[in-house]
Amino acid sequence: MSLLPAHATYCVPFAFDRQLFLAELIGDFNWSYDLQAGLLSFGNRYQWHTQVLGTESDESRTWLWAWANKASNIPDHLLQASRIMRAFGEQHEFPELTSHEVPLDEIDAHFLALIASGVCRANGYYRGPYEGGAVFLLIQDDSYPCNMELPLTRIATVFPQAISALEIPNHRLALLSYLASYGILGRSDGKKIIVEEGGEARLTATFDEQNRLIKLDARLDAAPR
């Protein structure tokens, strides 16, 4: 379970969205990685530039940030994302982001990668398993495909999945952040967040006193074209 403060998780739903899309793209393709070039490949279909975020060890059950990994000789240009996360941790006083190693019983590597994906505005991340552990790679490539699904349709589908699968304390702020990631403005109205198009409410989220989502209504079939 993550020890990170609540406000570090607001970007997680959008990052979770991108992980679902990545899974749809790569399916069952085999992966390979060129460390010197920083290129992640899936079969003969996709090849994307990445940053090395960190690694997890099966033996020590720890997460090691890429910027602290001297043994693997990671090229310097592939360490920018991990250094951004270290600076983010220093700015907001998150020791999990500034410590060289973190025990995996204190923080989940996937959740950490979701936060890094949001902070670094990555296309997504990939966990590449190898004997004894796994490497986490942030995909940052201009050639990465765009998701053509309508944003509100995507949000209405993915947001309930995200808050169900992940520990996100403040659903209200997380939804506002998710909407903003798609360039959508949500209007606050008491316990509700409302998204309007053409003067009509298309998405209405209702929250309880603890800012937990209790109802999500979407009228997407009537959206103007």
Q: Which two tokens stand for residue 16?
A: 């979770």
Q: What are the C-alpha distances in Å from 72 to residues 35, 44, 69, 84, 170?
A: 10, 27, 6, 19, 38
3-class secondary structure, 110:
helix
* 114: pLDDT strictly greater than 90: yes
Eight-state DSSP code of residue 74 = -
Question: In this predicted structure, what is the pLDDT of residue 107?
Answer: 85
Q: Per residue in 65-99, pLDDT tens?
A: 999 999 999 999 999 999 999 999 999 888 999 99
For residue 93, what pLDDT is reported?
A: 87
Q: What is the CA radius of gyration of the chain?
A: 19
For 61, phi and psi rounded to 5 degrees? 55, 50
What pLDDT score does 2 carry? 47
pLDDT tens, residue by residue, 128-162: 999 999 999 999 999 999 999 999 999 999 999 99
* CB proximity list for 191: less than 8 A, separation 6 or greater: 206, 207, 208
State residue 225's pLDDT score.
40
Would you call 100 helix, strand, or coil by DSSP?
coil
| Other beta carbons within 10 Å of 17 | 24
- Scan for tokens 């800012």, then name that residue: 211
Domain ranges of the chain: 6-139, 151-218
Q: pLDDT by residue (tens digit) across 24-59?
A: 999 999 999 999 999 999 999 999 999 999 999 999
Q: Which two tokens stand for residue 172?
A: 């209200």
Q: Which two tokens stand for residue 8?
A: 């570090």
Pull the structure tokens for residue 206.
């209702």
Q: Which residues pair with 201 in a beta bridge?
A: 196
- In this prediction, residue 5 carries a pLDDT of 59
Residues 170-223: tens digit of each pLDDT: 999 999 999 999 999 999 999 999 999 888 999 999 999 999 999 999 998 644
